[in-house]
Amino acid sequence: MFEVSEKLASLSPSETLAMSQRSGELKAQGIDVINLSVGEPDFLTPDHIKLAAQKAIDENYSFYSPVSGYLSLRKAIAKKLKEENGFDYRPEQIVCSNGAKQAICNVLISIVNPGDEVIIPAPYWVSYVEMVKLAGGSSTVLTAGIEQGYKITSEQLESAITPSTKAFILCSPSNPTGAVYSREELCGFADVLSRYPEVVVISDEIYEHINYTGKHESIAQFESLADRTVIVNGVSKAYAMTGWRLGWIAAPEWIASACNKLQGQYTSGPSSIAQKAAEAAYAGSQDCVVMMRDAFCRRRDLMVSLISDIPHARVTVPDGAFYMFPDFGHYIGKTFRGREILNSADLATYLLEEAHVASVGGLAFGAPNCIRFSYALCDNDLIKAMERIKDALAKLS
């Protein structure tokens, strides 16, 4: 009798959060689960950021903030964009939200009409396709397999553009693959897009600072895209602040004001305390960012060697983020005690039950043969987890 709306019924739950929750439930039963599912830094939020939040509480930042965030925070973000990226944004072009997740959803809901298409390279972050559904549009998924380094080509992009294309979502460094597009590759996309001036580019740069190539390149740097690129970023990953929920967009003014209007009816401005903490993150020393990136890079090297040691695993060396995305296609179709592993979601479930390691099946990322491991954990846990996985995979026949 009681039914959720058709829109909600068509929505898939977030697989990253679901696997993390299952891992938590097993842990609560006393099982020693190693959680490589949800992607979040294992570091603590740096002290100077926590102090700024405590100060904000003492100074009574307890009232509603402006919908798009305090001007002081938006100025700090504009300064970061100028100094780190060489971009000129005015505070009116910046909208702060409850995480980059809400920021992306705001943009899609603000620009997508029924019938509009949004181009999404796969493997993709789990939420993009669902957010496009929520916005009423449809996704055009472009697949880039491991043999092309999980990166789409500009020819693929061009072949997917139709008169209904509204937006192109690019995530570099990528979740889930860790692939990073070079300046030349981005320039190729910009050349294609210069022929389609009505397509909005949503550039998800949440892993900007977890980049092992030496320099972050943003697609927003190309002149032909300047008036239609939305940069998405936030403090979750760079400053180990996932729970604080503070993300933002830097966008053309018409998109920023649309998101402001939407957010004003939907959630209002993000947490006042998180905003003051984020301001300290951007204004303060960036040593913590470098320290965390270097630790992730060392763990990346460790994970590449551990996974390369697993028979039949195909790996790429990720240039950024903190995920490994091996192709475990060899193990799909195998059985354990008469139960067949039909796809990567089954494989992730098997690894959770048999190896007590939580991961996320590639199916949710549009890559049915792959498994995602977050390596934002200490070395010992990573070594133990990969040993367990190797043993569990060896039991499949």
Binding site for ligand PMP (CB under 6 A): 39, 99-101, 125, 171, 175, 204, 206, 234, 236, 242, 247
**17 lies in the binding site for ligand GLU (CB under 6 A):** yes
Is residue 21 at the binding interface for ligand GLU, with CB under 6 A as the rule? no
Task: Give the residue closest to ligand GLU by C-beta.
Answer: 39
- In the complex, least distance from residue 105 CB atom to ligand PMP, rounded to whole angstroms: 10
Handedness of CA 206, 349, 375, 48 (dihedral sign): positive
Q: Pick from ligand PMP, ligand GLU, none: which does 212 bind, CB < 5 to 8 A by kind?
A: none
| One residue of 22, 34, 39, 49 binding ligand GLU per CB under 6 A | 39
Could you check whether the bond before residue 121 is cis, i.e. omega within 30 degrees of 0? no
Backbone phi, psi, residue 378, to 5°: -75, 160
Q: How far is the CB of 281 from ligand PMP (least distance, A)?
A: 13
Let me know: does 277 contact 236? Beta carbons within 8 Å.
no
Can you give the three-state secondary structure of 12-69, one letter per residue? CCCHHHHHHHHHHHHHHCCCCCEECCCCCCCCCCCHHHHHHHHHHHHCCCCCCCCCCC
Distances (CA, A) of 360 to 14, 160, 346: 11, 28, 10
Q: Which of 68, 172, 175, 233 binds ligand GLU (CB under 6 A)?
A: 175
User: Counting contacts by CB under 6 A, is residue 172 touching ligand GLU?
Assistant: no
The answer to whether 153 and 102 are in contact (CB under 8 A) is no
Nearest-angstrom CA–CA distance, 218 and 229: 10
Q: Is the peptide bond before 41 cis (omega within 30 degrees of 0)?
A: no
**Of 33-41, 188-196, 275-283, 289-297: span binding ligand GLU (CB under 6 A):** 33-41
Closer of 350 and 365 to ligand PMP (Cβ): 365
Q: Which CB sits closer to ligand GLU, 65 or 175? A: 175
**Of ligand PMP, ligand GLU, none, which one sits near residue 181, judging by CB under 5 to 8 A according to partner kind?**
none
126 binds ligand GLU (CB under 6 A): yes
Give the nearest distance from C-beta 38 to ligand GLU in angstroms.
4
Examine residue 16 and tell whether it contacts ligand GLU (CB under 6 A). Answer: yes
Residue nearest to ligand PMP (CB): 99
Around Cβ 104, how many Cβ atoms within 10 Å? 25
Q: How far is 330 from 313, CA to CA, in rounded Å?
A: 8
**Can you spell out the DSSP letters for 211-222?**
BSSSS---GGGS
Instruction: Indicate whether 286 belongs to the interface with ligand GLU (CB under 6 A).
Output: no
Beta strands in 144-207 (DSSP E): 165-171, 200-204
Options 13-21, 165-173, 278-286, 304-312: segment touching ligand GLU (CB under 6 A): 13-21
In this chain, which stretch among 56-64, 121-129, 245-253, 346-354 interacts with ligand GLU, using CB under 6 A?
A: 121-129
CA dihedral of residues 46, 377, 125, 145 (deg, nearest 10): 140
102 binds ligand GLU (CB under 6 A): no
| Contact positions vs ligand GLU (CB under 6 A) | 14, 16-17, 38-40, 101, 125-127, 175
